[in-house]
Amino acid sequence: MASTGVDDERTRALRRAMLASMARASAVGRTVDADVRDAGSRLALALAQGGADAEAADALAFVGFTHRLGKKVLRYDDACEGDSSVAAVDEAGSTIVAARDGAARESTMRTLRSAFVGRERAFWREHGYDDDTCGFFSYVHDLESPSTNAMDVAALDVRRVAAKSFPRAARARWVEWWAHKRPHSHGHQMHFDSHDEGLNGIKHPICSVVVFVDGSCGGPTLVTNQKDDASRSSLATRGWLVHPRDGRIVVFDGDYLHGVIPGRPDFAPANEEDARRVTVMFSFWDDMETHETWKPKGSARPFPPPDASKIEGYSWRADFDLDENANDEDEPRGEPAPVVPVDHPWERVRDDDDAEEDEEDEPNVKRCRTTRFPSYDECFQGF
């Protein structure tokens, strides 16, 4: 590969790693294998976030990508919140994504901080979150039942905030929640929020919520206007970024494609090695099927009872003991938080014969209007 325009030790190391992977693949008669694709992806991200888009395109095309998240997405501006909107709506005026700062009760944030902030918290350790084999796990609460733990109370508070943008959430009976703690440079794949995939059709929640418990690092959440619609023939044409901030709450329609952008090296905190982007996600449902037992961990499990903390591997449950005074607090209104619009959330890696040109396209932007809908694996998300 040609020498890159981004010249730093990290990029040089990634370039060496890709060349080494290519050499190993060539030795066994392959041009691109999983190792080469991984090395090429990591190099392309460093190049794209460093502004070397032509070199990034070389790497992406070599390992088989035809589309990528756009320049304004991967190379997001952390200081662009002034050029933003209060919320994003669709053509019918329905909310796609909105955000608020300071809208949750302090007791809610205190519960979430005490349970999730800190790499050695029992919740992460006992769920094996940092293990490579750790799969998805979540918990479900019946919001019509009396509150018996701090997460019941927190979920009701988050539902109150969500209902400001999605009024139907106020009547939601069920909530499913899960949590993540990710290093600054780690993103999360683009996806739709759904339940019972493949069983009597896909169901989507009333709305989904991201609570930034620790927003000191990491990239923004991206929500696009691409719906989970099998008849759709084009990628998203619009997107919206919400940057992490402590206590910020993002509410959106989980039927739209969304994910997390890897944090830019330029914006890494001084304590990058230890810093984590800690979020708790909530999805609200009219009805939902749950598992009968709360163990072992898995998706849509009932929340463990209070005495579960006495069982080995469940000491984390004690962090959610009920605070009888939590509901005595006033309900803060909070303030609307910036939702930053981005055109062209997806771009073509290269101009191709399938592309339809648009005279209004911005210079140097390969807009995604193709006659062939790309596969998921052809779309570069930063990893």
Q: DSSP string spanning 189-221?
A: EEE---BSTTSSS-B--SEEEEEEEE-SSS--E
Give the CATH number for residue 182: 2.60.120
Structure confidence at residue 358 (pLDDT): 46
CA 232 from centroid of its chain's CA atoms: 22
Structure confidence at residue 81 (pLDDT): 65
Q: What contacts 53, CB < 8 A, 6 or more positions away?
A: 47, 71, 364
Cis preceding linkage at 363, omega within 30? no
Dist. CA 215–CA 221, nearest whole Å = 11
Our count of domains for the chain comes to 2
Structural domain includes residue 138? yes
Q: Assess whether 217 and 330 both reside in one domain.
A: yes
Structure confidence at residue 4 (pLDDT): 45
Question: What backbone phi and psi angles, to 5 degrees, belong to 36?
Answer: -65, -45
Structure confidence at residue 35 (pLDDT): 84
Residue 203 forms beta bridges with which residues? 195
SS3 content of the chain, % helix, strand, coil (to 5): 25, 25, 50
Q: Is 148 helix (H, G, I), strand (E, B) or coil?
A: coil
Number of C-beta neighbours around residue 75 at 10 A:
16
Structure confidence at residue 6 (pLDDT): 59
Q: Assess whether 155 and 293 both reside in one domain.
A: yes
Number of C-beta neighbours around residue 34 at 10 A:
10
Structural domain includes residue 99? yes
Dist. CA 89–CA 62, nearest whole Å = 38
Place of tokens 């009024």: 167
Q: Say if CB 311 and CB 335 are below 8 A apart.
A: no
Q: Which of 245, 277, 240 is nearest to 256 (CA)?
A: 240
Q: Which of 218, 238, 219, 236 is nearest to 227 (CA)?
A: 236
Structural domain includes residue 77? no
Q: How far is CA 301 from CA 30, 181, 211, 239, 383, in A?
A: 43, 20, 20, 32, 30
Q: Assess whether 194 and 319 both reside in one domain.
A: yes
pLDDT tens digit at each of 383 positions of the chain: 444 445 577 677 766 776 676 667 655 566 677 888 888 899 999 999 999 999 899 889 989 999 999 999 999 997 666 556 778 998 888 999 999 999 999 999 999 999 999 988 999 999 999 999 999 999 999 999 999 999 999 999 999 999 999 999 999 999 999 999 999 999 999 999 877 654 566 788 999 999 999 999 999 999 999 988 756 668 999 999 999 999 999 999 989 999 999 999 999 999 999 999 999 999 999 998 888 899 999 999 999 999 999 999 999 999 999 987 666 778 898 999 999 999 989 999 987 645 444 444 555 555 555 556 789 999 999 98
Dist. CA 102–CA 308, nearest whole Å = 32
Q: Assess whether 34 and 66 both reside in one domain.
A: yes
Q: Assess whether 223 and 307 both reside in one domain.
A: yes
Q: Assess whether 113 and 261 both reside in one domain.
A: yes
Q: What contacts 370, CB < 8 A, 6 or more positions away?
A: 234, 348, 352, 354, 355, 356
Give the tokens for residue 113.
Answer: 């901080």
Q: Assess whether 66 and 181 both reside in one domain.
A: no
Please give the DSSP secondary-structure letter assigned to residue 41.
H
Place of tokens 């072992």: 296
Structural domain includes residue 118? yes
Structural domain includes residue 75? no
Dist. CA 19–CA 1, nearest whole Å = 8
Q: What contacts 382, CB < 8 A, 6 or more positions away?
A: 41, 45, 48, 69, 74, 187, 261, 262
Q: Assess whether 48 and 194 both reside in one domain.
A: no
Q: Assess whether 219 and 253 both reside in one domain.
A: yes
Q: Assess whether 302 and 245 both reside in one domain.
A: yes
Structural domain includes residue 288? yes
CA 300 from centroid of its chain's CA atoms: 19
Measured on CA atoms in the order 313, 316, 318, 324, is the torsion positive or negative? negative
Q: Assess whether 182 and 261 both reside in one domain.
A: yes
Q: Assess whether 373 and 255 both reside in one domain.
A: no
Helix 9-27 vs helix 34-49: angle between axes, to the nearest 10 degrees?
160
E strand residue ranges, 50-132: 67-69, 87-89, 95-101
| Residues spanned by the domain of 66 | 9-70+356-380
Q: Is 260 helix (H, G, I), strand (E, B) or coil?
A: strand
Report the b/e string of 132-160 with b at 16+ CB within 10 A. Answer: eeeeebbbbbebeeebebbbbbbbbbbbb
E strand residue ranges, 75-114: 87-89, 95-101
